[in-house]
Amino acid sequence: MRIVVTGQDGQVVRALLSIGAEEGVTIVALGRPTLDLAKPETIAPAILAAEPDVVINAAAYTAVDKAEGEADLADAVNGRGAGAVAAAAAQAGVPVLQISTDYVFDGTALRPYREDDPTGPLGVYGRSKLAGEVAAAASNPRHVILRTAWVFSPFGQNFVKTMLRLAATRDEVGVVADQHGCPTSAIDIARVLIAVAKRTAAEPDAAANLFGRFHMAATGEAVWADVAEAIFARSAVQNGPHATVRRIATSDYPTPAKRPANSRLDGGKLASVYGLVMPPWQNSLATCVDTLLAESSSTSDPRNERTV
């Protein structure tokens, strides 16, 4: 099976590339300049030439705060770009999996959000991703929109790496404790994406319930301070950097973009339709911390330095 994924450097793309072989699929990653979501004319030729069985749109404009000043670019990439990817998949006669975000919600709900709850993004990033959902759905009837949240991994830049870096030079780190969400491993996301891709490709005339919107987030919930404490606790066990967490309010750490106070996602629909339940975030986080510490130790070991 051949899965074509947009993007090359993002956490989810790198996770797909790292586990594709063990999951029995070929992952073809298409990024700039071959495929650029901000340049619609590049999208269909690149995707059609790659001969996909399924297309995953994992490329996105993800700079949440920067997007407040670059709305046109965010809309072009996350909105119109997503629609063009879905249209190219339809032209190839294959399903499209569109990755979306918890930021499509306003955070006022008192429970985890379900797929049919009203949306109400608070900023440019969330609005652009919601526009991408609408565009993908309109451009390809065989669409699966998968919203996820608080992504972490051993790849790229993310909260886990930031906390470990700060703990290396600080005894205490202030972390927001009034935003609630579902920390989710990119590796776990990749496994779900591959499972969904296999199912939709194997059942070309599948019932309509395989398509539509789904929530794809780890089991369990947390505030950011909980995640930081779990990172430091695991790191301390491995003799890695750790610090004390000082719990702060969102108002103590102002950002250009407003974040939803509650962006927890209910994964019940994904479980009932596809039989997929994601692992608890604590388990995947511990694995991620272990991997990063092992990589750091290997890199810093003088025996691994090259000599000329």
**Tens of pLDDT along 28-75?**
999 999 999 999 999 999 999 999 999 999 999 999 999 999 999 999
Number of domains in the chain: 1
Is the predicted pLDDT of residue 269 greater than 50, yes or no? yes
Alpha helices in 140-280, H assignment, sequence order:
159-167, 186-202, 224-237, 268-274
Domain that holds residue 20: 2-156+182-221+262-279
Domain at 128, CATH number: 3.40.50.720
**Strand runs labelled E in 7-142:** 26-30, 54-57, 96-101
Domain assignment of residue 299, yes or no: no
3-class SS at 22? coil
Catalytic positions, written as ranges: 125
239 occurs within a structural domain: no
The pTM (predicted TM-score) of the whole model is 0.93
Instruction: For residue range 197-253, list pLDDT tens digits in order.
Output: 999 998 866 567 899 999 999 999 999 999 999 999 999 999 999 999 999 999 998
Domain assignment present for residue 205? The answer is: yes
Q: Which residue has the tokens 């629909």?
A: 269
**Residue 307: pLDDT band with limits 50, 70, 90:** very low
pLDDT digits (tens, 9 = 90+) for 150-192: 999 999 889 999 999 999 999 999 999 999 999 999 999 999 9
The answer to whether residue 306 sits within a structural domain is no
> What is the amino acid identity at position 61?
Y
Angle between helices 186-202 and 11-19 (to 10 degrees): 70
Residue 284 lies in a domain: no
For residue 300, being part of any structural domain is answered with no
pLDDT at residue 205 in the model: 66
CA distance 66 to 62: 9
Contact 24, 83 (CB under 8 A): no
Rounded to whole angstroms, how far apart are CA atoms 139 and 105? 23
Asked whether residue 305 carries a pLDDT value surpassing 50, the answer given is: no
Q: What angle do CA 26, 193, 121 make, to 5 degrees?
A: 135
Is 162 contained in some domain? no
**Residue 14 placed within a domain:** yes
Q: How far apart are CA 178 and CA 251, in angstroms?
A: 10
Scan for tokens 């609630």, then name that residue: 180
Start-to-end C-alpha separation, the chain: 43
For the packed helices 159-167 and 281-300, what is the interaxial angle rounded to 10 degrees? 50
